[in-house]
Amino acid sequence: MAVVRPFRAVRPLPDAASRVAAVPYDVVDVEEARALAAPEPLSFLHVSRAEIDLQPDTDPHSDRVYQAAARRYRELKREAPFVQETAPTVYIYRLSSGGHSQAGVAACYSLADYDADIIKKHERTRRDKEDDRTRHIVELRAQTGPVFLTYRPLEAVKHATADAMTATPLFDFEALDGVRHTLWVAGTAETALIVKAFAGAPALYIADGHHRAASAARARSALTGSSGADFFLGVAFPSDEVKVLPYNRVVKDLNGRTPEEYVDELVRRGFVVEDGLPAPYEKGEASMYLNGRWLKLDLESGGAPGRDIISLLDCNLLQDSVLGPVLGIGDVRTDPRIEFVGGIRGTSGLEQLVDNGRAAVAFSLYPVSVHDLMAVADAGSIMPPKSTWFEPKLRDGLLIHEI
């Protein structure tokens, strides 16, 4: 069973919500965060990336940064201002963009379930990134950005969500990137139905936010004495509404080959390479941008390295058959010759990287399905690095879980 806990969210007043809401701290670098937050003093990036308001050479993991984050959080609560709900509740958080819409349950989720693998993971986390958000949670005594969860659809949750969304929304605004964010406070009856329905769910899955969840788990020991420390802030979306974009790759050089020699080597290894389009049509294909044109690369024609679900993921087929043996990319986590480009930047972003000389070749991949992600997590396996990009993304600062 999965435990969903209503909570008394700390949140901005509705008139300030669009000014406070900020992109997740880890999807922008410090310069991008500084540029986004500069014109908006209420932006939550001043809290989630507090180094943007300090000297440019400030170590982002220094004591000064976390102290500044806590100070700015206290100030922002007065200036926005923020209020706290009078009674525990759950919220419905709907994301809408380009004709796509998904509605999730914003609540507190159990770290005991996380420990017991009822909340399943598919990524490894890095200790340094955990250290950063753990310190942030402890200094603020708050979780300020939600974990993005998914689950196999539950009819009772679907009906309760629909009922809750007939009321007047608490927040409803369109962000600068065109994503519309709408939140409702679930009524007492809807909240009870949602909590009961999730109690029958065998599992939840972390889609995005593994480091946030891991950091919340680590922060427990420093926040003893509060029952809130045993839960983390999350929004759970039904898997049939979740949208996954590809996580594409660019490689800086062709491992000593000319473009012609590189293509000849692929053909020699049995790959079918022919003229193509910027985005692949189906699983098992990749679009490859090289020397000013797009080519279609049949990933399976070079010989699949295995038949299990991990080895048959397109990103692994590409790595095991092309990036490793042909382009000499070993550990994709550490090799400086490869970069990863989220699908939100589109294939034109890949073309620009190659055309301006920052990369020699780009690979546009078919997105991993949510079904495959769940199957990997159910098997207790780990997805390859940078294999999924979930879009649209939740915003930080709208619902805060104070501990």
Q: pLDDT, tens digit, for every residue of 119-129?
A: 999 999 999 99
Q: State the residue for tokens 């605004």.
A: 173
One domain for residues 337 and 299: yes
One domain for residues 280 and 235: no
**Which tens digit of pLDDT belongs to each residue from 355-393?**
999 999 999 999 999 999 999 999 999 998 889 999 999
Q: 29-64 burial, b if ≥16 CB within 10 A, otherwise e?
A: eeeebbebbeebebbbbbbbbbbbbeeeebeeeeee
The predicted structure's pLDDT at residue 365: 97
One domain for residues 236 and 263: no
Encoded tokens for 371: 């079904």
Comparing CA positions, the residue from 5, 398, 391 lying closest to residue 177 is 391
One domain for residues 192 and 315: no
Give how many domains the chain has, as a whole number: 2
One domain for residues 147 and 178: yes
Q: 0.75 cut: is pTM over it? A: yes
- 321: domain CATH number is 3.30.1760
The predicted structure's pLDDT at residue 346: 87
Q: Is the peptide bond before 39 cis (omega within 30 degrees of 0)?
A: no
121 neighbors 206 (Cβ within 8 angstroms): yes
One domain for residues 277 and 234: no
The answer to whether residue 205 sits within a structural domain is yes
Q: What percent of the chain has pLDDT over 70?
A: 99
Helix (H, G, I), strand (E, B) or coil at 250: strand
pLDDT-derived band at 301, boundaries 50, 70, 90: confident
One domain for residues 234 and 360: no
State which amino acid sits at residue 259.
P
377 neighbors 121 (Cβ within 8 angstroms): yes
Q: Give the separation between CA 26 and CA 123, rounded to whole angstroms.
A: 15
The answer to whether residue 381 sits within a structural domain is no
Query: Would residue 47 be called left, alpha or beta, if left means φ above 0 and alpha means ψ between -120 and 50 degrees?
Result: alpha
Q: Which residues span the domain enclosing 359?
A: 247-366
